Amino acid sequence: MSIVVTGATGALGRLVVEQLLTTVPADRIAAVVRDKEKAAGLAARGVELRIADYDRPETLTGAFRAGDRVLLISSSEVGSRVPQHTAVIDAARAAGVAQLAYTGVLGGPGADFELAAEHKVTEQLILDSGLPYTFLRNGWYTENYTANLAPVLEHGAVVSNAGDGRVASAARADYAAAAVAAVTGDGHLNTAYELSGDTAWSFAEYAALLSGATGREIAYNNVPAAVHQEILVGAGLPEGFAAILVDVDEAIGRGLLAGTSGDLARLIGRPTTPLAESVTAALATA
């Protein structure tokens, strides 16, 4: 039996594998990747590589084996996720895996924003498959904000159309730790976890935190959705992706990413990473 991580060279996948290596022997870990060269470092540490592509279902035959515990990290290709995830689910079912954990989105079926649509379909496909499942409904990564500080610092403003909405974000490493706990521990089968940070923050509070940390005045500019869309497209984002971000901000304004269930802290056995800590780390490398 192996613990299998799909998308293992991605931002979340690499963190999961790194944390698995501190928990279980390397020869019990398998990484499903498209690019063997990109994963050479993992292979050098004893991780088994299984080469497969979400877009080529035939390559997924043999990617999983009976009894494997599989973490399906959702594809980053918005709009293509359903067929890609379907291929993985079908291969996992054919192999007879012991667990299929999936990284979805906070709120599950109750999330009504566009970015959640493919996650909801995927969860239903997993339920229909009859496989033992674990739904890891991830909230927002703090890095969604702290990794893009350059324009904020340049213009002295955090821009959003979320109003007074709050975000219960956590560090990507926190979500990786939760995934590791779910696929290495007992008692997680046929369970859904609503994963989020311990504390929800507003964009005004985020701007104030940046101001204090930098010694510069950072404002919070709450703008209409259409204006935010124009700003994002003007900054070089594709219109479709910009529209998704604007829609997420609308969802934040409705309180859909503010939930603080405590599931994440309980799974990882410690408090989630505070926003201030992530900001300090990001500014040190900005």
| Contact criterion met (CB below 8 Å) for 68 and 60 | no
Specify the domain boundaries for CATH 3.90.25.10 within the chain: 146-166+198-259+273-285
Reported as a pLDDT band with limits 50, 70 and 90, residue 41 is very high
- Cα–Cα–Cα angle for 10, 281, 234, rounded to 5 degrees: 65
| Closest of 108, 49, 47, 97 to residue 72, by C-alpha | 97
The Cα 233–Cα 239 span in angstroms is 6
* Helix (H) or strand (E) segment spanning residue 13: helix 11-20
pLDDT, average across residues 157-183 = 98
Specify the domain boundaries for CATH 3.40.50.720 within the chain: 3-138
| Contact criterion met (CB below 8 Å) for 118 and 78 | yes
The Cα 282–Cα 109 span in angstroms is 33
Q: CB 231: neighbour CB atoms within 10 A?
A: 18
Residue 58 pLDDT exceeds 90? yes
Residue 286 pLDDT exceeds 80? no
The Cα 254–Cα 154 span in angstroms is 29
* Helix (H) or strand (E) segment spanning residue 118: helix 117-129
pLDDT, average across residues 55-62 = 92
What pLDDT digit, counting tens, does each position of 205-249 carry?
999 999 999 999 999 999 999 999 999 999 999 999 999 999 999
CATH number of 3-138: 3.40.50.720
CA 74 remoteness from chain centre: 8
Give the single-character DSSP code of 98. Answer: S
pLDDT value of position 80: 87
> Looking at the chain, how many residues does it have?
286
Give the single-character DSSP code of 89. Answer: H
Q: CB 14: neighbour CB atoms within 10 A?
A: 19
What is the overall mean pLDDT for the chain?
A: 96
The Cα 284–Cα 286 span in angstroms is 6
CA atoms in the 13 A half-sphere facing the CB of 63: 30
What single-letter amino acid sits at 216?
A: R
- 203-214 helix and 275-285 helix, angle to the nearest 10 degrees: 50
Tell me the pTM: 0.96
pLDDT, average across residues 51-56 = 92
CA dist 90 to 41, 102, 126, 169, Å? 29, 14, 9, 32
Q: CB 1: neighbour CB atoms within 10 A?
A: 12
pLDDT value of position 285: 85
Q: CB 58: neighbour CB atoms within 10 A?
A: 10
The residues, any chain, with a CB within 8 Å of residue 143's CB and separated by 6 or more, are: 11, 171, 172, 278, 282
Reported as a pLDDT band with limits 50, 70 and 90, residue 4 is very high
pLDDT, average across residues 83-109 = 97
Which CATH code, of 3.40.50.2300, 3.40.50.11540, 1.10.645.10, 3.90.25.10, is assigned to 146-166+198-259+273-285? Answer: 3.90.25.10
194 DSSP β-pair partners: 137
Q: CB 265: neighbour CB atoms within 10 A?
A: 19
**R_g over Cα of the chain:** 19
28 DSSP β-pair partners: none
